[in-house]
Structure 1
């Protein structure tokens, strides 16, 4: 690296192998892998390394959802198992302190990994000044010999709604709004909206969940949506699909919203808080794309010209994470894979492209959903002759123990490989890894059926579904 003195810093790096703009999951995973391969790396991050996932999304929300699961367990113990337990109260400050400690420890871990790898982390906004040059506020210009990686992430979409962090909140600030509301209107029935609806219901709030599509988690298999909706309604969540927000007004004590039903009727919903979870948009403002000869597409994404390298039309400029359009999934674990791919590409290796069909998708609500591969509809649309196997979780003993319903659905080519696996129920987020391998390795039902699943476990239902498809079912027939 070429170094000079710059005011406010011990040293400034004029030239390096790789410059990464954005220190979220995609950015820091690229940095760590590139450094491990012997490349010199400068990572520019205007906030904290770890990005949205670590500080405002995945990690704090799952910490809160774990607390919600504990609350739900108290109710189940009392109502189902005869354990005379009751919930006295939720100490919000103690809950927040535990959540923040988990985030802080993870943050220190990421910082430590980057320091150990000798990645030069610079805190400041960065913009492209050319196809191989970046200017970082408060630091200066840096030239990248090998390439530049764009990893600036996304922000919540707020169509016509002004979030104030108290009455109207987004997924970025919902966890940090003051206290626990008595009632919540959640706008958006994708994974994020469903998780927040589930969390607030567990904490005792009256929850209305509004989704414009005709079903929740509309990108998932239709049977997943059906079982999830049934589970949420059973918990007392008012689910309204095919419904659209007409307008929302902030009042002294909350929000009044008007919602148009699928039949054209206009209904009024009042809640202490409106949580907007209608998707996210890429962050490209101030990135200087034009200076490098790039432009976002009409949706705001920076599309690669070569998906096998995640390289844009400008050679040497690569993209990872939420800046990527579909088939990238906007998921943290997909960003990790993209970071590895780009780092290895910049190091001169030939990594395998990311197989987005084999990336698992999880919703951490109660009940949970977890899927990998094609839905039944996608498989049919792709021209496959499809065979489907299903197994209710309550058909196995451990599913009866949990008593939360749910199902396993396997989509295969008739007489051929497994195309997709879809799960709904307790702990399915921990069960999906097996199915990820099944789909990713092009296994057939008979390949899976020869392996024995432990009894009694929820995973038995997965094994039984494959046994049935292989013509060896014990408790059901194909």
Structure 2
């Protein structure tokens, strides 16, 4: 029976980063993976979906006719698109395998790595069984990190047949562009998929939005921005609609939608994609053998340093990533994995602060966010000031002929305002959101931030002008451009 310092169950962003950080401390590590190396961070998730997104955006740019040039004959082959997506996933998987082999047993390095293919199950708090194609073996370790990720959530009463009624894991199995597609769910995943398929202009895309707005947790102006751009891209959004049933016919799916105002509608599609979130993978892990129960949402509760809270007060079993119930983001999973290994190595570390995480949403154009939004601040009765600055006034966006975008920054309403949150839409939003995340993390005042020089011409200059708007110092004034520059203050009502 092989003994390790650390066994990591799952090789996604949380598991792989935990293993690599543990390697820094000279530990012997075994990674156990039952499905795809890299998990949803590589396959059927972040990397594959973003590769498909980038290809669709390239196609959309090539199809434009308003820039002085026109493509003579533009076509797209779905099979080649999927082949390119798979090439990207395999490229990353072989990078991961190369590193594992570099630090395998017998190499002249302090730590070691090995990969076991199979499904792990706890026998006791220091022992697991791993069942794979070659049978079952037993492994022991001083510490464990559970990083088994999450899988697509299925809608109650809806039969996912993985052929015509599919989830996000089935997208790479499609053999051609559907002529008509219904996407159930208007959160980030649903809107991203609607963007991808509408970009290629081969599919009539229907998006089911149970609320009155897509991305209902975001502020109304951000939600409206995304919704309008989807519709301009050809997506048909069914607001306040509920899926009653899907009737299967030999050559099509008959979808019945019920709306909040009482009327119903029947539409015909070829494929229905269910994108209503993800649920943690806790099945068949043998958690009962280590005295662990999941929360009502099926997640594993962790303490500040990712140590697992369980009935036996075990302090050598950790959890990281989507399974913990925190934001299901690659960056969060990776950070948690690293933090767990630092705790295992008894290295001074600090608890994670989830209050100002950066999020990217791959729409047309992309949208990025960090910190709190207006809805959250109002719910907490926190006074604030907010400014909105359109990319139509930003020189770089004008030069790019891509002015569809904005910067929105929220600051505290006090003598020394500090940045509380930001939302941005448009080209390169994913790049410059990080600078604002740093400013939030450092707690700089608005006065200090305004001393920073921004390069010209850059899209980040929109941040500078938005901040100046909050101070009443912007070069272009809201009075001259009320549709492009907006400013307001909010304070909770004083109860008398």
Shorter chain as normaliser: what TM range? over 0.9
SS of equivalent to 2:340: helix
Aligned to 2:456: 455
CA contact (8 A) 1:18 1:148 kept: yes
- Aligned-residue offset at 1:350: 2.4
Q: CA deviation at 1:44?
A: 0.8
Per the TM alignment, residue 97 of structure 1 is displaced from its structure 2 partner at its CA by 2.0
Q: Report matched runs for 1:400-415 at 5 Å.
A: 400=398, 401-415=400-414
| Distance in 2 separating the partners of 1:402 and 1:166 | 40
Residue 67 (structure 2) aligns with: 81
Which position in structure 2 is the counterpart of 1:333?
331
1:28 is aligned to 16
Partner of 2:152: 156
Distance (whole Å) between structure 1 residues aligned to residue 395 and residue 173 of structure 2:
40
The residue that corresponds to 2:253 in the other structure is 255
- 1:228, 1:131 → 2: CA distance? 47
Distance in 2 (alpha carbons) for counterparts of 1:395 and 1:263:
40
Deviation readout 1:133-168 (Å, 9 max, x if unpaired) = 2111235222222x2111111111111222233311
Please provide the CA RMSD for this pair.
Answer: 1.7
User: Is 2:168 aligned against 1:171?
Assistant: yes
- 1:144 matched to 2:141: yes
Q: Does 1:56 align with 2:44?
A: yes
Q: Return the alpha-carbon distance in structure 2 between the equivalents of residues 253 and 157 of structure 1.
A: 26
Deviation of 1:237 after TM superposition, in Å, equals: 1.0
Q: Provide the rounded CA distance (Å) in 2 between the counterparts of 1:282 and 1:407.
A: 35
- The aligned residue for residue 490 of structure 2 is none
Quote the offset at 1:48 in angstroms. 2.5
Deviates more, 1:206-215 or 1:398-407: 398-407
Q: What SS does the aligned partner of 1:297 have? A: coil
Which residue of 2 is the match for residue 67 of structure 1? 55
Alpha-carbon offset, residue 293 of structure 1 = 0.1
3-state SS of paired residue (1:173) = helix
Count residues in correspondence.
460
Say if 1:16 and 1:40, in contact at 8 Å, map to a contact too: yes
Which of 189, 192, 195 does residue 195 from structure 1 map onto? 192
* Farther off after superposition, 271-280 or 380-389: 380-389
Match of 1:124 among 115, 118, 137: 118
Distance 1:312 1:87 in 2: 60
Q: Which residue of 2 aligns with 1:44?
A: 32
Q: Within 5 A, what are the aligned runs for 1:57-456? A: 57-76=45-64, 78=65, 80-117=66-103, 118-137=112-131, 138-145=135-142, 147-159=143-155, 160-204=157-201, 205-304=203-302, 306-313=303-310, 314-325=314-325, 328-400=326-398, 401-415=400-414, 416-456=417-457
- What's the TM-score once normalised by structure 2's chain length? 0.89
> CA distance change for structure 1 residues 402 and 435 in 2, over 3 Å: closer, same or farther?
farther
Query: Secondary structure of the equivalent of 1:341?
Result: helix
* Partner Cα separation in structure 1 for residue 207 and residue 373 of structure 2: 24
Contact 1:369 1:429 in 2 (8 A): yes
Q: Offset at 1:231?
A: 1.1
| Cα separation, partners in 2 of 1:245 and 1:87, compared to 1, 3 Å | farther
Could you state the TM-score of these two structures normalised by the residue count of structure 1? 0.92
Q: Are the aligned partners of 1:421 and 1:435 in contact in 2 as well (CA < 8 Å)? A: yes
Structure 1 range deviating more: 46-55 or 425-434? 425-434
Query: Partners of 1:27 and 1:153 in 2: how far apart?
Result: 9
Are the aligned partners of 1:189 and 1:210 in contact in 2 as well (CA < 8 Å)?
yes
Where structure 1 has 5 or more consecutive residues not aligned to the other structure, the ranges are 1-11
**What is the CA–CA distance in structure 2 between the aligned matches of 1:308 and 1:428, rounded to whole Å?**
31
> Displacement of 1:463 after TM fit?
1.5
After superposition, give the CA deviation of every residue in 1:88-125 in whole Å (9 maximum; x if it has no partner): 31122222222211111100001122233421211110
Query: What displacement does 1:86 show?
Result: 4.2
Structure-1 separation of matches of 2:212 and 2:301: 29
- Distance, in Å, in 2 between the alignment partners of 1:176 and 1:476 is 52
Any stretches of 5+ residues in structure 2 without a counterpart?
A: 104-111, 479-486, 488-496
Separation (CA, whole Å) in 2 of partners of 1:447 and 1:106:
41
